[in-house]
Chains A and B, each alone.
Chain A
Amino acid sequence: MDKLMGQLKRQIIERLNLKDLKPEDIGDDQPLFVEGLGLDSIDALELIVLLQQDYHIKLDKAEDGPKVFHSVRTMADYITKHSPAKKAS
């Protein structure tokens, strides 16, 4: 889980062009949207594609975004639960 969270932080920084940040600057439970990291609805759409491209998980409804992307930990939880690889094994 820690490894996944670390990976996610690196991916978030890269995808969303958060050049000034390092992975250790993002807290595991820090809110990503509005306050905290201050991401917005466009970033949420980017993260939906990140889930699909890198983790093969499809989030059909943009409205589910706020729950799933609340923090790095909630993202990691969601990936762990819905990962196709995990389901297969």
Chain B
Amino acid sequence: MQVYIRSTGNISPQHSLEKDLFFAHREMQDGNRWHAVEPEYSRYVDSKMIRRMSRIVRMGVAASKACLDEAEVRMPSGIVTGTAYGCLEDTGIFLRRMIDNQEELLTPTAFIQSTHNTVGAQIALLLKCHGYNNTIVHRGFSFENALMDAMLLLREGMDNVLAGAIDEITEDSHAILSRFGLYIPANDNPEITAKKHKGSVAGEGASFFLLSSQEIHGARAILRGTSTIYKPESLAGVESRIHAFLKESSVLSDGIGLVLSGANGDGDHDEIDDYLSATAFRNKTIIPFKQLCGEYPTASGFALWLAVLLISEQKTPDWLPNVSFPLRNILIHNHYDNSHHALYLISAC
């Protein structure tokens, strides 16, 4: 069974919601926290509904709506979302109030909005979609496992399944994650892959995809395969998994025109990228996509969006490295926290 990506919708630290803007202009952000470029939400959601939506819910709803609008599909059959951190803003609000007020006089809105399935549920509520609805919250595989669930639905005969990933940064989450040494100092200039740093840059975003098993005119790309590797034992182990993955997908390494790598500029994490660029990805054009979106557990959603864009448009922005066209296959290798590796193979329709 072939999996077609009919359409996409993406909000990120780049102008990813508007294709022409994205091609024209790279958004250069400062510091170690890159904010998503957010749209005028009233374009996507009735303003009466927006009032109760936190930022992450708005991002998810807008990206999913943009995705459905692009395909001109009003109602998906199923909705699967992935998020590692969930609804952080409301979690933080409720926690702080609970502690400040010593467990008295608390109000429900923040609590209700803090549950991890809020984004997926809101999308269903707005569409009045009674179909399958699931939320995966599994660290660096939140998006991969959501995508797998969506692909199982296609195998089971469903069509037009909406799959997506969302993660946000908040003041609190950034302060806490910074203490783990995840990020470069706040006032550094983050050309994050130009030189090896200690730490990376925090990103955020919402990426949605409409999947189908039917070959429909206008489908953007084919998702030929995905694979995950949990806590690989060695760099060579990752390399051999990549070769096995390509073999399973019946694509030769020569057929890969572009690699999108998950290098995030952190010297402690990018050893695998150095290794692969000398081995499996030798002589290939490699674009480290996190220089555009920053690092977060569901950043592979951004990578998939970018791959679909480049392969369907058959062009790259002037401000990205040159790629040979026609571009038939793109390989994504993401890695998160040195423990969660994911591979995607995207082909032109």
Question: B-contacting residues of A (Cβ < 8 Å)?
Answer: 15-20, 38, 42, 45-46, 49, 52-53
Residue B108 interfacial (CB < 8 Å):
yes
Given contacts A38-B48, A42-B108, A46-B107, 5 further A-B contacts (CB under 8 A): A15-B107, A20-B48, A42-B109, A45-B107, A46-B109
- The size bracket of the interface on B is 10 to 19
Q: Which residues of B contact A16 (CB under 8 A)?
A: 51
**Residue-by-residue, is B100-111 near A (CB-CB < 8 Å gives 1, otherwise 0)?**
000001111100
Q: How far is the CA of A17 from the CA of B110 in the complex (A)?
A: 12
Q: Which residues of B contact A17 (CB under 8 A)?
A: 51-52
Q: How far is the CA of A15 from the CA of B109 in the complex (A)?
A: 10
Instruction: Please report the number of residue pairs spanning A and B whose Cβ atoms sit closer than 8 angstroms.
Output: 23
Q: Which residues of A contact B108 (CB under 8 A)?
A: 42, 45-46
Closest partner residue, chain A, to B101 (CB atom): A53
Can you list 11 A-B contacts with CB-CB less than 8 angstroms, sorted by A residue number? A15-B107, A17-B52, A20-B48, A42-B109, A42-B112, A45-B107, A45-B108, A46-B108, A46-B109, A49-B105, A49-B107
Question: A-contacting residues of B (Cβ < 8 Å)?
Answer: 47-48, 51-52, 105-109, 112
Q: B122 to nearest A CB, angstroms?
A: 13
Q: Is the CB of B51 within 8 A of A19?
A: yes
Q: Which residues of A contact B47 (CB under 8 A)?
A: 20
Q: How far is the CA of A46 from the CA of B109 in the complex (A)?
A: 8
Q: A38 to nearest B CB, angstroms?
A: 6
Q: Which residues of B contact A46 (CB under 8 A)?
A: 107-109
| Partner among B51, B52, B106 whose Cβ is within 8 Å of the Cβ of A49 | B106
Closest partner residue, chain B, to A46 (CB atom): B107
Q: A35 to nearest B CB, angstroms?
A: 13
Closest partner residue, chain B, to A52 (CB atom): B105
Q: A55 to nearest B CB, angstroms?
A: 12
Q: How far is the CA of A38 from the CA of B46 in the complex (A)?
A: 13
Enumerate the 10 nearest inter-chain pairs by beta-carbon distance, A residue then B residue, closest first.
Answer: A17-B51, A45-B108, A49-B107, A46-B107, A53-B105, A20-B47, A42-B108, A49-B105, A18-B51, A42-B109
